[in-house]
Structure 1
Amino acid sequence: MMAHFGVWRAAKGAVVTVLTVWVCARILVRGFDIVRERGTGGLDFTPWVAMAISLVVMPIMLWAGMRLLGERRNGSLAWLTTCTWLFVGGYLFDTLDRVDAHVPVLVLIGYAAWGACVAWCTTLVPGNPAQATPARG
C-alpha cells in the first residue's frame, strides 16, 4: 500500500543520494590528499580535477543506484542533485581540505531530505510507471 504514495521510492532516493554524496566527497578529499603528498608549493589543479570527476561520477552513480533498486525515470534526481553538488561541493571545498575530512552530518541529512523529495516528486508526474495502477482483467 505504501508503494502507491512513493514512500519506498523516496526512501531509495534518500539512501542512494547520501551514498553518492559520500563517495563524491571522498573523491574530493583524495584530491586534496594527493596535493599534500606531493608537497609542492606551486599551483596544483588536482582538487579541481577531483571536483570535475565527482561531477561526472554523481549522475552516473545516482542513476545506476536507483536502477539497481528497481526505479525508473531517475533523470531529475541525477541532474538536480548534481547541480546542487556543484554549489554545495564548492562551498565545502575548504572544509574538505583537511586530513581525514568528511562531509558534515547536517549536509548529509539535507541531501537525504533532498533525494527523498526529488524522488518522491517524480511519482507525481503524469505517466510515471511508479504511479500506474495494475491492470484488471
Structure 2
Amino acid sequence: MAIANHYRLTTPDTILDGRYKKAPGEDKDVAADQLSRATLLLGVTNGQRVHAVYTTELRKDMSFTGIWGRVEDPERSVDMLFLTSATAARKDKRLSTFTWSGSPQRLTPDGLDKDTVLKCQGTRFTLADTDDKPTHIRTLCA
C-alpha cells in the first residue's frame, strides 16, 4: 500500500521573485456551508480554504484561492472544479459574457510528483457594470 502525500496550501508574503506582494486584509473567510458544499462537490474531505491577492507596484494583480484537504481522486476533483467554475460563471450576474479558451491542459512542471494533477485553461469575460466593456483575459489553474 502506497503512503499518501500530504500537502497544505499556503500564501507566502511575496511571489515571483518578490515582484508580487500579498495585499493586507485580503484573506476573506468563506461561509462554512459554502465551504462544505464546495468540498463535497469536489471530493475533498476536511477541506480548508485559503485565499490571497497579490499586487505589484504597477498595480498588476494576481489572485489565489484554494481548498486543501484529503482528496481521493485528484483528476476528478480538478475536472469538477473546471465544470463547476464554468456553470457558476454563466450564472454570475456581474458578468455580461464568459467563454473558455480551448480546454483544460494538463501541466507537469519540474518538481510536480506523478500523483499531483495540475491543469490550466484560459477564460475571456466582460463585466456587466462597465460602460466600455473591456474583455478580461485570465487563466484558471487547478
TM-score when scaled to structure 1? 0.28
The structure with the larger Rg is: 1
Q: Name the structure where strand makes up a greater proportion of residues.
A: 2
* Structure with larger RCO (C-alpha < 8 A, sep 6+): 1
